[in-house]
């Protein structure tokens, strides 16, 4: 399948960075959001990252300008979807919203378009039957920060065709990323299941009074070689994102081990969501530098 035009739905941290990754790879990209202010914030954030990558010699100015020429943002889903060959949905992690989006995308995109979700919690079969093209539905799951992290999990549901998986893998390679294909769908996929097990143990150790947040992060970095400790990583990805993902999993399984922990719930209630609010497990200054444990 010849993929030339990609539609990214959702201009949050993940969607906007995925859109720039696609534009840098030579694809024509449209990025949709229902909220004009989020689009402006995404443009601003991506421009800063572009400028830094050019200043550090990671991208040439000419290549970066060409990538921006291929990238269009907007709020009119019908207009942006009309010519898409491949959709990457990176909207909010709420199943009813995603299902209704997939039904709209099914109506608005050409019949050959693959409808992929970047969801970290919902497997393809949760979305496929919201469309009349279940064979063309799959997950392509990027990691945060999407401009940097190499892995993209490609997940097929029971109805996803092998041609869809092949096209998704080919696209991921074209983006300069490393595809990891799952042979069978499972909530959380591979990397997040492993990561969540580590995070849950870290929160258990903290809530049990065994060690401080900083001490646990330091152990993970210096004993296990992690680039960031689990608390630092929660602050990067958003404390609320992990909370909603666990809550959705808990609603599905009823397993108490899947319930969000007390400290995380309290942080979400207080609005301490990590770097994006300046306070999570740590406190950050205006330039995003970590100052101290919260």
Q: Find the DSSP H helices in 146-284.
A: 162-174, 191-207, 213-224, 230-237, 239-253, 262-270
User: Pairing relation of β-strands 137-142 and 151-156?
Assistant: antiparallel
Nearer to ligand CAA, 106 or 189 (CB): 189
What residues pair up with 151 in beta bridges, in sequence order?
Answer: 178
DSSP secondary structure letter of residue 272: -
User: Least CB distance from residue 153 to ligand CAA, whole Å?
Assistant: 9
Determine if 42 is a binding residue for ligand CAA (CB under 6 A).
no
What residues pair up with 181 in beta bridges, in sequence order?
Answer: 154
Determine if 8 is a binding residue for ligand CAA (CB under 6 A).
no
Stretch that binds ligand CAA, among 34-42, 137-145, 155-163, 264-272 (CB under 6 A): 137-145
d(CA 16, CA 50): 12
- DSSP 3-state of 256: helix
Near ligand CAA by CB under 6 A: residue from 5, 24, 32, 49:
49
Near ligand CAA by CB under 6 A: residue from 52, 61, 173, 257:
52
Task: Verify whether residue 112 is a known catalytic residue.
Answer: no
Kindly tell me the burial class for residue 222, based on how many C-beta atoms sit within 10 Å of its own C-beta (0-12, 13-18, 19 or more): exposed
User: Least CB distance from residue 197 to ligand CAA, whole Å?
Assistant: 13
DSSP secondary structure letter of residue 274: B
Task: Verify whether residue 192 is a known catalytic residue.
Answer: yes
Task: Verify whether residue 44 is a known catalytic residue.
Answer: no
Determine if 23 is a binding residue for ligand CAA (CB under 6 A).
no
Rule CB under 6 A: which of 85-124 touch ligand CAA?
Answer: 120
Nearer to ligand CAA, 41 or 149 (CB): 149
Q: At what angle do helices 230-237 and 191-207 cross, to 10 degrees?
A: 120
Q: Which of 64, 93, 153, 232 is catalytic?
A: 153
Count of positions on this chain that bind ligand CAA (CB under 6 A): 16
For residue 12, which of 73, 69, 67, 54 has the smallest C-alpha distance?
73
Phi, psi of 142 (to 5 degrees): -90, 165
Give the x-and-dash track for 225-264 against ligand CAA (CB under 6 A): --xx----x---x---------------------------
Positive or negative, the CA dihedral 40, 41, 44, 46 is negative
Q: Which of 50, 119, 121, 192 is catalytic?
A: 192
Stretch that binds ligand CAA, among 48-56, 83-91, 125-133, 156-164 (CB under 6 A): 48-56
For residue 196, which of 275, 249, 254, 137 has the smallest C-alpha distance?
249
Determine if 144 is a binding residue for ligand CAA (CB under 6 A).
yes
Interface contacts to ligand CAA, rule CB under 6 A: 49, 52, 56, 120, 143-145, 147-149, 192, 195, 227-228, 233, 237
């Amino acid at each position: 399948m010849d993929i030339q035009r990609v539609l990214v739905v959702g201009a949050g941290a993940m969607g906007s960075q995925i859109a720039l990754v696609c534009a840098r790879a030579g694809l024509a990209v449209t990025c949709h959001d229902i909220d004009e202010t989020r689009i402006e914030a995404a443009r601003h954030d991506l421009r800063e990252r572009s400028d830094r990558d050019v200043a550090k010699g990671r991208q040439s100015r000419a290549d970066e300008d060409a990538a921006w020429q291929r990238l269009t943002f907007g709020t009119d889903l019908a207009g942006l979807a009309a010519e898409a060959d491949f959709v990457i949905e990176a909207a909010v992690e709420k199943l009813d919203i995603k299902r209704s989006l997939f039904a709209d995308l099914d109506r608005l995109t050409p019949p050959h378009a693959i409808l992929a979700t970047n969801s970290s919690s919902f497997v393809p079969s949760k979305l496929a039957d919201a469309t009349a093209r279940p064979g063309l539905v799959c997950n392509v799951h990027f990691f945060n920060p999407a401009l940097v992290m190499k892995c993209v999990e490609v997940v097929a549901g029971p109805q996803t065709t092998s041609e869809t998986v092949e096209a998704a893998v080919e696209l991921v390679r074209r983006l300069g990323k490393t595809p990891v294909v799952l042979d069978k769908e499972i909530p959380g996929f591979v990397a997040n299941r492993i990561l969540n097990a580590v995070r849950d143990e870290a929160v258990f150790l903290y809530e049990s009074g065994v060690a401080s947040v900083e001490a646990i992060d330091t152990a993970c970095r210096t004993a296990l070689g992690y680039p960031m400790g689990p608390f630092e990583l929660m602050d990067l990805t958003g404390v609320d994102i992990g909370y909603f993902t666990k809550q959705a999993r808990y609603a599905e399984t009823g397993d108490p081990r899947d319930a969000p922990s007390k400290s995380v719930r309290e942080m979400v209630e207080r609005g301490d969501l990590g770097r994006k609010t300046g306070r999570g497990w740590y406190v950050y200054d205006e330039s995003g530098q970590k100052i101290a444990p919260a």
